[in-house]
Amino acid sequence: MSSTFYIRSLLLPLVCSLLPFVDATPAITVTVSAPVSTSTEYTNPADFKNAVLNGTNTYRAQHNATAMAWNQSLAGYAANWGEACIFKHSNWSYAWVLRASPVLLPPIFQVDAARSQCPTDKPRAQGGPYGENLASGYPNAIAAVAAWGDERDHYDFAAAQFSETTGHFTQLVWKSSKSTGCSATNCEGKGDGSAPGWFVVCEYYPLGNVIGEFKQNVQSKVEGQGGKCLQGAVCAAAGTVRADILGKWQWFSIWGVIGLCLL
């Protein structure tokens, strides 16, 4: 056996064992999912308006309430608030001392949900006499409305009272509310991060969820008026909703009331 062959026989296994480590640039396959397309219900104003009205009025018809009309002034109010991309209500807490309290509080110490009872009755820079529903993170506008409307599964029609878990639904079908205006704002990476994705704000006038008026304004589902889910909605879709915190008494000291009236 030659010395050359002997050396080769020793080195060949060593070289072969090192080959896996020699390839310093392995091929890497990266799979990138296609970006989720944004629904035209958010990007097209006409589609958004139609989706909101169709969804809202579908639920209202199912609960014996007349169809709402679109109110552009309310839509502008909603847009101004939605641009902040902060998931909280625009209305100040004093707006929720409701008009069912004339016996408990004299008018001067009572702030009506629909109209200020302060002596000067000055218009407020913030807040307004409107009902308000919020939603964030839903794939389209109809899904946001469906999230509000499907709270009816938890509403006690016999008790006919306000509940924070069903406040969106009761405002949505409130018979005395006649008009609505809404906005949709892409809040991804904006605001304080509390309203990710598309932030939907809807205002209603006259406002609903008034203490003592639930029985006549929130009626049971009319037989034969459709199923649970709206067409185009994603039932049980991920997202966040927040209803008006209505139906709670709030008491103010005389100085607190005077301060509010001077705002």
- The residue type found at 96 is W
* Token reading at 163: 């509940």
pLDDT tens per residue, range 126-164:
345 899 999 999 999 999 999 999 999 999 999 999 999
pLDDT at 181 over 90: yes
Say what the pLDDT of residue 99 is. Answer: 35
d(CA 76, CA 133): 15
Q: What is the pTM of this model?
A: 0.65
φ, ψ at 256 (rounded to 5°): -65, -40
Q: Which residues contact 187 (CB under 8 A, 6 or more apart)?
A: 82, 85, 136, 195, 196, 197, 198, 199
pLDDT tens per residue, range 85-118:
999 988 643 333 333 333 333 332 222 232 222 2
Percentage of the chain beyond pLDDT 70 is 56
